[in-house]
Structure 1
Amino acid sequence: MNTKTSNNICLTNVVDNEIFTYPIILLKGCIQNANNDKSQFLIKHISVNNNYCDTSLWTIYNNRFKVIIELKIGNNKIIFKYGEDLLQIDVIFKPRTTKYTVSPVYVICADHDGKFQAPNNYDNSVEIACKKILLGSKLIQMLTAEKMDEKGFGKKTFYMETECQIIKSSLTRQMVFNMNPEKLWQHIARELTANQNSKNRKFLAFLSCTYWDGENLHGHVALGGGGLALFGTGCLYTWPSQLKEVLQCFTNMKKVDTNVLLDDSCFRGNFGGCFSTTLGSVWHEIGHTFDLGHTKYGIMGRGFDNVHLTFTLDNINMAQESISNRKRYIVCIENCINNYKAKEDLSNNNSVNNKTNLYAKSDECDTTTNCWSNGCAAILLFHKWFNSYDEEKSNGPHYVVKRNLLTSTKGLKVVQLRRDDGFVTHSWEFLRNNNKQTFILPVQLATIGTTIVAEDSNGNILKHSI
């Protein structure tokens, strides 16, 4: 990517007059003449149209910096100042026009006040919960764009609705505690889609009543597929409610008292680890609503535990505690909504998820890195939630079982073979072929998988049992 420099200040992931379709952006760069590793520089963010001006201080580490800013609609002037060095750029926030949206939701049980579990003297109100959820959703929106850009596809991401809905469920807390995650997902899905057209809407929902009693976790769910990603709020207490708190929350090494609070930190035992793992888990689950399966590495593997690495500068994973007598709870991410035929419009997007990408091309990342596999990135590149396609009727890909043949008049872009337990055994991407209308599944591979997944250039997706 081209960089814009002024004296010693250099940006590496943003250019002057760049247009963003999402509000929170990440600015990365370096300052060549930084005096020491802990020196700071000034950021001034000005939006004339919105009569807005804000200043903030950011730390330099090994001459590098990372800054997160929430843009205002229209032109945004960003000024970097370090000593006598100045760099000024303009960036534009222009939300994408699309009917395909993601809606953040806070689900409150019929007999619950909506307060999520949190430490004593902590604001755990419904209002704060919604602020945390909306901010976390925006961070995931930005993370998705950054990781697409790293794959060379530009900063493509989904459109996030600007308010967090509050939904009162018919379920009581005890009913939730007694339901298995799949049944709970099904019930919430029906409630969210009742009396409305949800064909073009996906929901990112959080349950308010998740409760850790010191030994067991109640009312937790981590499931994504179709039109719904549903998650518990056991660690919502570690999430920020304001943008200025994001870095503080990622680097918060306060130990979790597991006698009274859930520790879902991948054995790190601290607030920052909980925030990183759970934000990453939500990112992972919403990926399943976009028809992604598991991969061996990266976001759709266990790389989501380390979301903090995108925001921090030292690139060192949070120190894990040694195994002790502390009470621990490992949240198993159950993403498989394979057999449930969701009613209403959720069935149109139902996801078949997978545990690992066994035979796909090697991913350019490891287990400590957040990235998309080639197959995941290719699916998102053409996905309806990531584009503004003109309305047109299209039948999408078609599979001829007897011939192991896939056809598409719109051009095939991605083909994946998945087993009935969700494992992706093969993934093919046809990004350079603008009109690949046929694909023959090698007969020797037909017995490895039981589901074939295909996407065409208009984002139409086929899932067919073989």
Structure 2
Amino acid sequence: MANPNAAIASNSDSAIQVENHETGSEVQYSVVLLRGTVPSENDAPMTIVNKNAPAGANEVKVLTDGKRFKALVELSEGKNAIQLKHGSAPATELVLTYKPQNNPHYVRLIWMTDQSGETDFAAPDDSVTQDYANRLRTAALLMQTFTAERMKDLGYGPRTFALEHDESGQVVVHTWKGDEDKQDYYAQADNNRWWQQVRRWINNEHPDRLAKNVVLAAYTRKDPRTGKMLGHTALGGANLGLFGSASVFCWPRDIQSAMDVFQDNAAVDATHVHDDSAFRGTIWALASTTIGATLHETGHAMGLPHCTDNMGIMTRGFDHFHRVFTFADPPSNQNKQTRKFSPEQEAYFSPVSASFLRWSPWFQLNAATTESSGRSRSRPSVEVDEEAQLVRIKSDSGIPWIGFHSKDRIETFREYGSHDAGADDHPKTIDLTFDQIQDMKPGTDIRRIVVVDSNGASRNVSLPQTAS
């Protein structure tokens, strides 16, 4: 997808061009994706060095495709002077300041064992390192970066969710014991009670109303006798995204190895592990689908329904999560040769999803929102008047967004006023006739509307059958 807000690190035609970050700008997430071009297409190596890289950061891995490049760069808090060099072209310096969010709402990462406390995850053989915390931490950072970059591409700025950090700046991964044996969890999964039980466990044992919880079950296994998956799911809603850990063995262990993982066309041994790669049967595809699915279910926990955009994260677009970081699909069971894709074929949060996230409390980068402004925290009022065939919407803080839903997915949306929190151009009242609502997407039966106010408070209302 072309970036309407692309910024240039250097304006010289003979210099390296960074398309998606402007020197001197500030970001509020710790891993940036750099996209850009080099002056000429040749075999000279490209290097990117952050002179202020955090301790323990690996050498930056740069992917190139002709004159284009992509790279993930880890940032230290404060100023980061990033030098980009390609062949004999003049070096470009990109200066970015990383300022951690102080939004109290955050995503909490949890590695859940059964009551035994056993932390090992399923793996095809003993050569796989059992470093679950690094793999979950890296996946979360990739999801955070993906979200920021795609929100910015749609004009909402580099807006993303916060992760929990310790005093050293490391992303926290909690390792907590569940209160039941794995066999009990397996039985609950069979009867679709597992998600509800884990949510009760989280809310009772580890309550935090400011957290959206990403929980991976360490005890997911493939039954060698039947081939059936035990303790496997991907389900999200309310404050919980719950996932099996069957594919964690292929997740990158650190940020720089992500580029290698997303190009690894080694076959998945489905006799020992679960192949959830959308029939592509390779490591790169398995990592892409399952990290993408984790973001998909986290989206549900943020309040997002499914949408209709084939490349949207809230559809099967999550199969193509890797494409934001690469230039081509490596060979797989579905493409015997490397297959390049266009920017329009990269996964993203589609506009109907991104516009909702813009107003979510989990996407306000700083705490200086409702709490410090003294503005009303009450939810918007939505009244359905069947006699008048009218929906009346009111909010003292203003109404920036309304979504229009069919049975189980969002079909379209409307934005009102600017994208800025605290703006005075969001209407306080909106009246919509039943006919106007149905005309939002002709030929689609709109059954529900969701209203979000400028404080991020929401209310959803079902429409009567007479509205269709």
Q: Please tell me the TM-score bracket, short chain as reference.
A: 0.7 to 0.9
Aligned residue among 380, 394, 397 for 1:397: 380
Indicate which of 77, 81, 85 corresponds to 1:77. Answer: 81
- Kindly provide the CA deviation profile for residues 26-79 of structure 1, in whole angstroms up to 9, marking residues without a partner as x: 01111122314xx4212221118x678864453431111101011111111111
Tell whether 2:305 aligns with 1:293: yes
- Say whether the 8 Å CA contact 2:63–2:326 is kept in structure 1: no
CA drift at 1:209: 1.0
- Describe the shift of the 1:188–1:67 C-alpha distance in structure 2 as closer, same or farther (beyond 3 A): same
Q: Deviations over 1:12-38 (max 9, x none)?
A: 0111122111111101111122314xx
Task: Deviation per CA, 1:135-170: give whole Å up to 9, x if none.
Answer: 100110110001101101110011111200111001
- Secondary structure of the 1:401 match is strand
SS, match of residue 269 in structure 1: coil
Distance between the aligned counterparts of 2:278 and 2:56, measured in 1?
Answer: 40
Q: Which residue of 2 aligns with 1:155?
A: 158
Q: Which residue of 2 aligns with 1:355?
A: none
**Is 270-279 or 84-93 further displaced after alignment?**
84-93
Give the letter for the 1:395 counterpart: S
Identify if the C-alpha distance between structure 1 residues 426 and 67 changes in structure 2 by more than 3 Å, giving closer, same or farther. closer
Question: Taking structure 1 as reference, are residues 90 and 312 closer, same or farther at Cα in structure 2, changes over 3 Å only?
Answer: same
1:356 match: none
The alignment's C-alpha RMSD in Å is 2.5
CA distance in 2, matches of 1:320, 1:428: 41
**SS at the partner of 1:160?**
coil
Among 238, 248, 262, the alignment partner of 2:260 is 248
| One-letter identity of the residue aligned with 1:13 | N
Name the residue aligned to 1:43. 48
Deviation (angstroms), 1:370: 1.2
Displacement of 1:405 in angstroms is 1.6
1:439 aligns with 2:430: yes
Map of 1:380 onto structure 2: 357
Aligned partner of 2:333 in structure 1 is 320
Are 1:416 and 2:403 an aligned pair?
Answer: yes
Structure-2 change in CA distance of 1:405 and 1:70 (3 Å): same
Cα distance between partner residues in 2 of 1:442 and 1:320: 51
**In structure 2, distance between residues paired with 1:415 and 1:182:** 32
Give SS of 1:67's match.
strand
Q: Distance in 1 between matches of 2:291 and 2:209?
A: 26
Aligned to 1:439, the other structure's residue is in SS state strand
Q: Which residue of 1 aligns with 2:461?
A: 464
Q: CA deviation at 1:192?
A: 1.4
Aligned partners of 2:178 and 2:346: how far apart in 1? 37
Letter in 1 for 2:384: V
Take 1:213 and 1:141, find their aligned partners in 2: how far apart are those partners? Answer: 33
For 1:130 and 1:232, how far apart are their aligned partners in 2? 15
Q: Distance in 2 between matches of 1:411 and 1:142?
A: 30
CA contact (8 A) 1:8 1:33 kept: no
Deviation at 1:176, TM superposition (A): 1.2
Percent pairwise identity: 25
Q: 2:115 aligns to what?
A: 110
How many pairs are equivalent? 418
**Given the superposition, is the C-alpha separation of residues 436 and 239 from structure 1 closer, same or farther in structure 2, using an over 3 Å criterion?**
same
CA distance in 2, matches of 1:278, 1:436: 40
- Conserved 8 A contact 2:289-2:319: yes
Deviation at 1:439, TM superposition (A): 2.7
Quote the residue 1:335 is aligned against: none
Q: Does the 8 A contact of 2:114 with 2:181 survive in 1?
A: yes
| Structure 1 residue 464 displacement after superposition | 2.9
Query: Given the alignment, which residue of 95, 98, 101 partners 1:96?
Result: 101
Compute the displacement of 1:390 (Å).
3.3
> Quick one: which amino acid aligns to residue 206 of structure 1?
L
SS at match of 2:288: helix
AA partner of residue 201 (structure 2): E
Please, which moves more after superposition, 112-121 or 180-189?
A: 180-189
2:293 aligns with 281
* Residue 190 (structure 1) aligned with residue 187 (structure 2): no
Unaligned runs of 5+ in 1: 324-363
Question: 1:306 — aligned with what?
Answer: 320
Task: Identify the residue that residue 341 of structure 1 maps to in structure 2.
Answer: none
**For the Cα contact (< 8 Å) 1:40–1:58, is it kept in 2?**
no
User: How many Å apart are 1:114 and its aligned residue?
Assistant: 1.6
- Residues 307 and 352, structure 2, Cα contact 8 Å, conserved in 1: no
Could you tell me how far apart the structure 1 residues matched to 2:8 and 2:451 are?
Answer: 37
How many angstroms apart in 2 are the aligned matches of 1:426 and 1:77?
Answer: 42
1:236 CA drift (Å): 0.7
- Whether the 8 Å CA contact 1:255–1:269 is kept in 2: the answer is yes
Partner AA of 1:239 in structure 2: W
The superposition leaves residues 374-398 of structure 1 with CA deviations (integer Å, 9 ceiling, x where unpaired) of 2211111121111131314421211
More off after superposition, 194-203 vs 225-234:
194-203
SS of 1:136 mapped into structure 2:
helix
Which AA in structure 2 matches 1:378?
S
Are the aligned partners of 1:407 and 1:438 in contact in 2 as well (CA < 8 Å)? yes
Q: In 2, Cα distance between the equivalents of 1:443 and 1:458?
A: 26
Contact 1:222/1:232, CA 8 A, preserved across alignment: yes
Change (3 A) 1:58 1:404: closer
CA shift, 1:195, in A, is: 5.1
Given that 1:148 and 1:377 are in contact with CA atoms closer than 8 Å, whether structure 2 keeps it comes out as yes
Residue aligning to 2:181: 172
Secondary structure at 1:412 match in 2: coil
Contact 2:61-2:256 within 8 A present in 1 as well: no
Please state if 1:4 is matched with 2:9. yes
Q: Give the unaligned 5+ runs of structure 2.
A: 1-5, 165-170, 337-341, 419-423, 439-443, 464-468
- Which residue in the other structure is 1:26 paired with? 33
Aligned residue in 1 for 2:139: 136
| Matches of 1:365 and 1:10, distance apart in 2 | 17
The CA deviation at 1:4 is 1.8
- Tell me how far 1:238 sits from its aligned partner: 0.8
Q: Which amino acid aligns with 1:133?
A: L
CA distance in 1, matches of 2:453, 2:182: 43
Cα distance per residue 1:336-373 (max 9 Å; x no partner): xxxxxxxxxxxxxxxxxxxxxxxxxxxx996x431222
CA spacing shift, 1:190–1:17, aligned 2, 3 Å? same
User: Structure 1 length as normaliser, TM-score?
Assistant: 0.84
Give yes or no for contact 1:44–1:53 (8 Å, CA) kept in 2: no
1:54 and 1:221, CA in 2 relative to 1: closer, same or farther beyond 3 A?
closer
Distance of 2:34 and 2:264 partners within structure 1: 22
Q: Deviations over 1:255-289 (max 9, x none)?
A: 11111111010010011100000011011111112
Counterparts of 1:52 and 1:380, CA distance in 2? 33
Tell me which amino acid in the other structure corresponds to 1:121: D
